[in-house]
Structure 1
Amino acid sequence: MPRLCFSVLFAVALLLAPSAGAEPASPWIEDGASALRLVDAGEGEGGARIVGLAIRLEAGWKTYWRQPGDSGVPPQFDFSRSENVGEVTVVFPAPERMTDEAGVANVYHGEVLLPLKVRPKTPGAPVRLAVTADYGVCEKVCVPAQAQAALELAPDGFFPGPAAAAVHRALASAPKRVAFGAEADGLAIAAIRRRANDEIEVTAKAPAPGANLFAETGDGGFAPSPQPVPDAPAGEARFRIPFTGALPQSGLRLTLAVKGRAIEVAAPLDALVRTP
């Protein structure tokens, strides 16, 4: 009888234990043409837990970067239902630049992974990360989407696998924050000039062709979409930002991206050199 009881308990334990190679992730929460889930990717630098917020889109659909451009809806994430969470930082990969009849939009297609840096209130204790996500998805028309997902982050409950590795790759390729004029991965914002009509001209170091520049105000608000300037010298990319009113007192936040590399630069107003 004791041997039989032990066998039953062992079988139950196998059923309840995570399967080999299983990764902690919430179920996909679908809303129309999109779905969202959370993926535990273990620990990162400084004791933060790394979690991936994945948004999967049907073919032909898109969603938006934190500053959507001339049209679109910026995503909003509410983590207030979480437990033992002190701070969550959302890391946005560089978006794609898309032009249509509505203007220039900053978008993602396919599946986008937004790494989250989660700092527990009590390190070493379990964390329950819960998110309510509101975001827009568009094909020919745009519709709002909402998803609520939650994931338990036990201190010793991480199982590394392909999904977690993808989150860390997304984190590693996210725009690197550098000072104005500084270089990273061969990229730099070399000069910013303010012209007489308040148009801003940005000169960037970009050794490969096909560079894109994305602009926000210094506090993350709307800024006109940078327009590429043709015939820039080799190793450079130039853009013009067509401000027509007062420049933002918060300055500018610029994201330069080319061929999987990206940097993010804060440009205060005193960095703008006035030229004729």
Structure 2
Amino acid sequence: MVLRRLFAPFALAVLLASPAAAEPASPWVEDGASALRLIDAGEEAGGERLVGLAIRLDAGWKTYWRQPGDSGVPPQFDFSRSENVGEVTVVFPTPERMTDEAGVANVYHGEVLLPLQVRPKTAGAPVRLAVSVDYGVCDKVCVPARGEAALALETDGFFPGPAAAAVRRSLAKAPKRVALGAAADGLAIASLRRTDREVEVTAKAPGPDVALFAETGDGRFAPSPQPVAGAPAGEARFRMAFDGALPQSGLRLTLAVAGHAIEVSAPLDAIVRTP
């Protein structure tokens, strides 16, 4: 009995100190007011791997969504140094909408986790993910930042700790892709109407503080949607003014409220023309 009591805490200490108990993640790579690293979050159905790209920012600093808004720099990713990686999909969490003297920007503060959905070239073979990221960070001034990280993804003895769980939460909260008019979590882009240089978006959204983010259909800049007053309860309206003709690629819209978000692609012919 005495030996068993002595052995139990010793065994726990050995387990916690063993390499398998350490979460698989690359070291933080710092560049000025920011740092980044990769976090292995395990295997998904079909052999796809889930990895988190964490970007940590000093207090008061911000970085940008894939479409930064009226100002800012979108992040650029290079995965060409990876081994046995066929395709990587970068999933962007819903950004914050920030207004200052430069206009409207779509940003992140604190620490942002970008889930990476990694498809190996050869299923079951070892995978080494390597990434170079060029991104902008801003406080009073804006400066370019760059980070390089690499991580061999675990195949045996994977330890799903708190960091891996955070990556999975970030993926679960990412905007759900739905069709125009379809609803998810009580959200829907109900209709889009246009004149030659303006689009009005009608959305179904419960509660206040509804945010709408816009891109062209090919991910390029689109004017920031401006709320329109007077919408009935359960509905929100936004207006977008274009300098020229509407993009032939249509629009991609992200609608968010209270921790839920949807993403809708609307080709140009789905936007109803009005006189």
Gaps of 5+ in 2: 1-13
Report the 3-state secondary structure (helix = DSSP H, G, I; strand = E; otherwise coil) of the residue aligned with 1:26.
coil
TM-score when normalising by structure 2:
0.92
**Mapped pair 1:58 → 2:58:** yes
Query: For residues 74-85 of structure 1, what are the structure 2 equivalents within 5 Å?
Result: 74-85=74-85
C-alpha displacement of 1:16: 9.5
Gaps of 5+ in 1: 1-12
Map Cα deviations across residues 125-175 of structure 1 (whole Å, 9 max, x no partner): 111000000000000100000000000013224210110000000000000
TM-score when normalising by structure 1:
0.92
Contact 2:130 2:148 in 1 (8 A): yes
Q: Report the counterpart of residue 173 of structure 1 in structure 2.
A: 173
Q: Matched residues in 2 for 1:73 and 1:54: separation?
A: 18
Q: Matched residues in 2 for 1:239 and 1:164: separation?
A: 37
Q: Report the counterpart of residue 7 of structure 2 in structure 1.
A: none
Q: Matched residues in 1 for 2:263 and 2:223: separation?
A: 17
Map Cα deviations across residues 219-250 of structure 1 (whole Å, 9 max, x no partner): 10010110011221100111001112011101
Report the 3-state secondary structure (helix = DSSP H, G, I; strand = E; otherwise coil) of the residue aligned with 1:160.
coil
Q: Matched residues in 1 for 2:153 and 2:20: separation?
A: 17
Q: Report the counterpart of residue 10 of structure 1 in structure 2.
A: none
Q: Matched residues in 2 for 1:182 and 1:110: separation?
A: 33
Q: Matched residues in 2 for 1:135 and 1:180: separation?
A: 31
Report the 3-state secondary structure (helix = DSSP H, G, I; strand = E; otherwise coil) of the residue aligned with 1:126.
coil
Q: Matched residues in 1 for 2:128 and 2:159: separation?
A: 17
Contact 2:20 2:157 in 1 (8 A): no
Contact 2:20 2:159 in 1 (8 A): no
Q: Report the counterpart of residue 7 of structure 1 in structure 2.
A: none
Instruction: Detail structure 1 runs of 4+ shifted over 4 Å in the superposition.
Output: 13-17
CA RMSD of aligned residues (A): 1.5
Contact 2:42 2:154 in 1 (8 A): no
Q: Report the counterpart of residue 194 of structure 1 in structure 2.
A: 194
Contact 2:20 2:158 in 1 (8 A): no
Percent of pairs with identical residues: 82
Aligned residues: 262
Query: For residues 240-251 of structure 1, what are the structure 2 equivalents within 5 Å?
Result: 240-251=239-250
Report the 3-state secondary structure (helix = DSSP H, G, I; strand = E; otherwise coil) of the residue aligned with 2:172.
helix
Contact 1:125 1:154 in 2 (8 A): no
Q: Report the counterpart of residue 150 of structure 1 in structure 2.
A: 150
